[in-house]
Amino acid sequence: MRFIIGLLGGLLVASAAAAQERAADLGATLLKQPAVQAALEAARRNEPQMIEEQIRLCEIPAPPFKETTRGEAVRQAFEALGLQHVRMDEVGNVIGDRPGAAERPRLVFAAHLDTVFPEGTDVRVTREGALLRGPGIGDDCRGLVVMLGVIRALKESGVETPGTITFVADVGEEGLGDLRGMKNLFNVVLKGQIDRFVSVDGTGFGVTNVGVGSHRYRVTFKGPGGHSFGAFGLVNPIHALGRAIALIADFQVPEVPKTTFNVGRIGGGTSVNSIPFEAWMEMDMRSADAAALASLDASFQQAIDRALAAENARWTDGRLEVERTLVGDRPAGRTPEGAPIVQAARSVTAALALPERLGEGSTDSNLAMSLGIPAVTIGGGGRGAGAHSLAESFDSTDSWKGTQRALLLAIALAQR
Ligand SMILES: [Zn+2]
């Protein structure tokens, strides 16, 4: 992990240790400023309206790869809140700037537009007192609305920051979306221009500084196929698949960092009395350690090669081929606990007397972390349950605390 001179340290700070120290009491220092106090009050005062906005956004469907309508609603909100240079990029990310005294440092503050729910899902939200129910209400309509709450509080209080904050409602965070929004943002749209990254994802007060990476494959064995009796002696794709899975089932992986593998789906064949012409499986591998993930991936490739060779060697008729498609590639990464951005996140959380908790996860921050850009993902406050299920709910009791924490962190990270 490289250290960027001056990160949260100003020109006077020449060492990582000093920047760390300054980041550690940044929360308390900022709280003493009247403009910051005014912004925090605005965040609290606006929360009831922001909850209405959370419901409105949640009721606009945003299935994977179909986030545009919800994105359009966020684009209008960005414009209404006075962000500058508001635009939608070619993959559907909605981007808007709040310029500081200088262009850099640039903080990107993001929340994701997409849900895991397919087209046609009933996304209406019901409300009983503080409790909201609806698919996507927490993950990540909470993050989107915390972002809007932060922009609005900054606007109403007139807080000025030395650095620039670029707000992004991004596409493709979930599953097969494969971080395509982040990939386009970091590799194309703002390539080389992002100094710090925060995403607000879901609920609660957690701070994620470890990004669990994943590789996902679909593997298909293919052969000629034939009659189970008449063509006996022919290579068999399902047998090859079985050989591969038997090898995978015996993989040994590190416990720390947690590294996992799973064959989640299999298929193939046409009838009990046919030698199949095709068999497939889907495999998921995860680790927060890039090297462990790479080594697991290598073992997986070997298992496929060995299974193919063994099945082809077993029979004299026909030859099998194998096709492997990478259907998910989420890079692993980590922002060290001692990094100024993590210290800043902890310090603003503590300054607001909220519970501090560091954790690992698989979020938009993975991409920044894999590039060595300081990044954390934070929860948006309130209490969530049932994420990724139709029964998802969000308890908005005191949820303004989440907006305040995100706001204070945004201000902290837009300092020199
Ligand atoms: Zn999410």
If you average pLDDT over residues 112-126, what whole number do you get? 96
Residue 316 and residue 387: Cα distance in Å, rounded? 51
CA of 347 to the centre of ligand 1 (A): 24
Residue 205 and residue 341: Cα distance in Å, rounded? 16
CA of 406 to the centre of ligand 1 (A): 16
Band the pLDDT of 262: cuts 50, 70, 90: very high
| Closest by CA position to 370, among listed 340, 331, 335 | 331
CA of 103 to the centre of ligand 1 (A): 29
Q: What percent of the chain has pLDDT over 90?
A: 91
CA of 288 to the centre of ligand 1 (A): 18
| pLDDT over 50 (residue 169) | yes
| Closest by CA position to 54, among listed 399, 407, 398 | 399
| pLDDT over 50 (residue 13) | no
CA of 234 to the centre of ligand 1 (A): 47
All structural domains of the chain = 16-211+332-413 (3.40.630.10), 213-330 (3.30.70.360)
Band the pLDDT of 23: cuts 50, 70, 90: confident
24-28, 81-85, 340-344: least confidently modelled range: 24-28
Residue 306 and residue 310: Cα distance in Å, rounded? 6
| pLDDT over 70 (residue 5) | no
Residue 170 and residue 411: Cα distance in Å, rounded? 21
CA of 146 to the centre of ligand 1 (A): 13
- The DSSP H or E segment spanning 375 is strand 375-378
Band the pLDDT of 7: cuts 50, 70, 90: very low
| pLDDT over 70 (residue 394) | yes
What residues have their beta carbon closer than 5 A to ion ligand 1?
139-140, 201
| pLDDT over 70 (residue 266) | yes
CA of 164 to the centre of ligand 1 (A): 25
| pLDDT over 70 (residue 8) | no
Half-sphere exposure of 234 (CA within 13 A, CB side): 20
Q: pLDDT digits over 295-323, tens only? A: 999 999 999 999 999 999 999 999 999 99
CA of 184 to the centre of ligand 1 (A): 18
pLDDT of residue 9: 42
CA of 363 to the centre of ligand 1 (A): 7
DSSP string covering 265-283: EEEE-S-TTEE-SEEEEEE
Q: pLDDT digits over 30-49, tens only? A: 999 999 999 999 999 999 99
| pLDDT over 90 (residue 17) | no
Q: pLDDT digits over 176-220, tens only? A: 888 999 999 999 999 999 999 999 999 999 999 999 999 999 999
Q: pLDDT digits over 130-149, tens only? A: 999 999 999 999 999 999 99
CA of 139 to the centre of ligand 1 (A): 5
DSSP string covering 286-332: EES-HHHHHHHHHHHHHHHHHHHHHHHHH-SB---EEEEEEEEEE--
pLDDT of residue 139: 96
Q: What percent of the chain has pLDDT over 70?
A: 96
CA of 46 to the centre of ligand 1 (A): 23
Residue 317 CA, distance from chain mean position: 47
If you average pLDDT over residues 384-394, what whole number do you get? 94
CA of 143 to the centre of ligand 1 (A): 8
Mean pLDDT in the chain?
94
CA of 190 to the centre of ligand 1 (A): 22
CA of 137 to the centre of ligand 1 (A): 10
CA of 173 to the centre of ligand 1 (A): 7
pLDDT of residue 25: 87
Residue type, 266: I
pLDDT of residue 212: 95
Q: pLDDT digits over 223-234, tens only? A: 999 999 999 999
Query: What length is written for the chain?
Result: 416
CA of 201 to the centre of ligand 1 (A): 5
Contacts of 281 (CB under 8 A, 6+ apart): 218, 219, 241, 244, 245, 263, 265, 266, 267
CA of 134 to the centre of ligand 1 (A): 14
pLDDT of residue 228: 97
CA of 112 to the centre of ligand 1 (A): 7
Q: pLDDT digits over 53-83, tens only? A: 999 999 999 999 999 999 999 999 999 999 9
CA of 174 to the centre of ligand 1 (A): 7
| pLDDT over 50 (residue 290) | yes
| pLDDT over 90 (residue 18) | no
